[in-house]
Amino acid sequence: MIFLQYRIAEQKIKGIITKNKSTTILQDVVDVLYENFEKYNWVGIYLVKGDVLVLGPWKGKQATEHIKIPIEKGVCGSAAQSGKTEVVDKVSKDSRYLSCFLSTRSEIVVPIKKKNIVIGEIDIDSDFPAAFDNNDAVFLEKIADMLRQHI
């Protein structure tokens, strides 16, 4: 049952990417991720601009103050530097963590890469502790791969 949720969301996102020629693809994908998973409580896409991550489309109850993150800062910066997915089960225990929302308990950051260069990332905060497992990582890495042509 749980796997069905990922498959349904993946199909919706494939639909957006293949049919939609407009400039709203990134926002539409963010919206699908936010709306289809109860545990995805804030979803954003950061874009790499030089050595800074700049917030693009996002969806959540609140805006974040971290609209620009230097590449050497935060969990987002770590993922951008390593090119690897970062999963933080307990944000309060991670010294890299830049706090955005008091309600956040865990976080996943998935790099979007073109020819092995990080060009952006999907960042998701959850109000649930240890909300992200390998299913989320595999699913979101697939979505990141679909997005790479649209950044």
The residues that touch ligand SME, with contacts defined as CB under 6 A, are 42, 44, 64, 66, 69, 74-76, 97-98, 100, 107, 123, 125
- Closer CB to ligand SME, residue 123 or residue 136? 123
Phi/psi of residue 123, each to 5°?
A: -120, 125
- Closer CB to ligand SME, residue 14 or residue 49? 49
Report the residue number whose CB is nearest to ligand SME. 74
Rounded to a whole number of angstroms, the minimum distance from the CB of residue 66 to ligand SME is 4
- Sequence-distant (6+) residues with CB within 8 A of 29 are 13, 16, 17, 45, 143, 147
Rounded to a whole number of angstroms, the minimum distance from the CB of residue 17 to ligand SME is 23
- Closer CB to ligand SME, residue 44 or residue 120? 44
DSSP bridge pairs for 120: 47, 112
- Closer CB to ligand SME, residue 36 or residue 64? 64
Distance of CA 115 to the CA centre of its chain: 19
DSSP bridge pairs for 44: 58, 123
Rounded to a whole number of angstroms, the minimum distance from the CB of residue 145 to ligand SME is 22
Distance CA 90, CA 70 (A): 22
Q: Is 98 helix (H, G, I), strand (E, B) or coil?
A: coil
Beta strands in the chain, from DSSP E residues, in sequence order: 42-49, 52-60, 68-70, 86-88, 106-114, 117-126
Rounded to a whole number of angstroms, the minimum distance from the CB of residue 70 to ligand SME is 10
- Closer CB to ligand SME, residue 107 or residue 136? 107
Rounded to a whole number of angstroms, the minimum distance from the CB of residue 90 to ligand SME is 13
